[in-house]
Amino acid sequence: MRERIETLWKKDKSPLMIAGPCSAESEEQLRLSTQLLSEIGVKVIRAGIWKPRTRPNTFEGIGSPALQWIKDIKKDFDVQFAIEVATAQHVELALEYGVDVLWIGARTTVNPFTVQEIADSLKGVDIPVLVKNPINPDLALWLGALERLSNAGISKLGAIHRGFSSHRKSKYRNEPLWQIPIELKRLHPDLPLIGDPSHIAGERGLIEAVSQKALDVNYDGLMIEVHPNPDKALSDAKQQITPATLERLLGTLQVRSATSDNALFLSKLEQLRDKIDEVDQELIQVLRNRMDLVDELGVYKKENNVSIFQLNRWKDIMQSRGKWAEDAQLRREFIEDIYKIIHEESIKKQTSISEASTTSK
């Protein structure tokens, strides 16, 4: 997979900042946004031209007329523009009007057919393309979209983490599920990864914390929704901030180094990692012991014609282990997530035992 968006990168490799309104609502609004953002050093302006909305009869963007606004505004400001494209026709129009950066939205990433059509329309074009994670927590879909674009010859690729839909109650609009983008980064360490705190948070009061978290895990940049008057925005008003707020935010965020050349730091880091390795070996052995007991349990259930899944026992495990976690000053949700994985593996092992016993007869 080709993995750079070099034309966007600052020479000092500091985090890339993409900012601008959720939607381009009028030429005046877009021009004012661009002016205010360029004054605080933002070089890439985002603007929603076509807005895929969940419900009809809501503002779905100005559409292609806004592309002329972008073309005119670029004559007066030293900025690049990034927009979302959801069809091959969007791509054609964006290229015609000189848009600098394209991104594929979460609703589009879930559809391989649409992604392929967009990829085909970009063949032979040298333009940065960013891909947002799919709505659902599916790393394979995210990777697949990036691979389709790479196979079409797109040499400047990046990924945007905007969070995932979840059925469980959360303070976030879209659950971050940080382990998924981190795994993407592990698989493709040179792929630029940009955080979208606005869509993760869904509420402006959470944007700073999410932004800092993204930088703490070594993201390459941020995309933040900024509007001159957020409360009057025609879309996603609650998650947009003012240019002044963004300026303050940029002044408070800490950009951490990926590593350090300090000898004392490296020595201490090595010691701590050795200790973690030892504990992990113990954890794996404990899990091995637990799975041995699961094997024994599976055989015993089979011999006594008892069902594999026991609802009351599972409820008891979740309740008791959650309480044990709190007593040990660990997050209950963290331990519950671990036990869900353990329980899934336990069911698989017992099912395998049952099937093997049935086959042998």
Residue intervals in the chain for CATH 1.20.59.10:
263-359
Mean pLDDT of 28-46: 96
The model's pLDDT over 187-199, given as tens digits with 9 standing for 90+, comes to: 999 999 999 999 9
Alpha-carbon distance of 308 to 351, in angstroms, equals: 7
Q: Which residue has the tokens 């993760």?
A: 200
Tell me which architecture the domain covering 6-252 has in CATH: Alpha-Beta Barrel (3.20)
Separation of CA 273 from chain center: 27
Least confident of 71-85, 224-238, 306-320, 345-359: 345-359
Alpha-carbon distance of 229 to 335, in angstroms, equals: 42
Measured CA to CA in angstroms, residue 77 lies from 102, 206, 221, 241, 251 at distances of: 19, 30, 22, 21, 23
Per-residue pLDDT at 359 exceeds 70: no
- State the pLDDT at residue 2: 41
What is the percent of the chain where pLDDT is above 70? Answer: 94
* Rg of the chain over all Cα atoms, to the nearest angstrom: 24
H-helix segments, the chain: 27-39, 65-74, 88-96, 106-109, 112-121, 139-151, 179-187, 197-201, 207-216, 243-252, 263-303, 311-327, 332-359
pLDDT band at 13 (very low <50, low <70, confident <90, very high): low
Alpha-carbon distance of 135 to 166, in angstroms, equals: 9
- State the pLDDT at residue 276: 95
- State the pLDDT at residue 256: 82
Alpha-carbon distance of 205 to 358, in angstroms, equals: 57
The residue count of the chain comes to 361
The model's pLDDT over 227-272, given as tens digits with 9 standing for 90+, comes to: 999 999 999 999 999 999 999 999 999 988 877 888 888 899 899 9
- Asked if 6 and 190 touch (Cβ cutoff 8 Å), the reply is no
The model's pLDDT over 78-104, given as tens digits with 9 standing for 90+, comes to: 999 999 999 999 999 999 999 999 999
Per-residue pLDDT at 325 exceeds 60: yes
Per-residue pLDDT at 4 exceeds 50: no
The model's pLDDT over 123-157, given as tens digits with 9 standing for 90+, comes to: 999 899 999 999 999 999 999 999 999 999 998 99
Task: Decide which of 258 and 303 is more confident.
Answer: 303
What is the pLDDT of the chain when averaged over all its residues?
91
Mean pLDDT of 292-319: 93
Distant-in-sequence, close-in-space partners of 140: CB < 8 Å, separation ≥ 6: none
- State the pLDDT at residue 294: 94
Per-residue pLDDT at 52 exceeds 80: no
Per-residue pLDDT at 53 exceeds 80: no
Mean pLDDT of 43-62: 82
Residue intervals in the chain for CATH 3.20.20.70:
6-252
Note the pTM of the prediction, 2 decimals.
0.81
User: Six-digit token pair at 355?
Assistant: 């099937």
CATH homologous superfamily of domain 263-359?
Answer: Chorismate mutase (1.20.59.10)
Q: Which residues pair with 222 in a beta bridge?
A: 17, 195
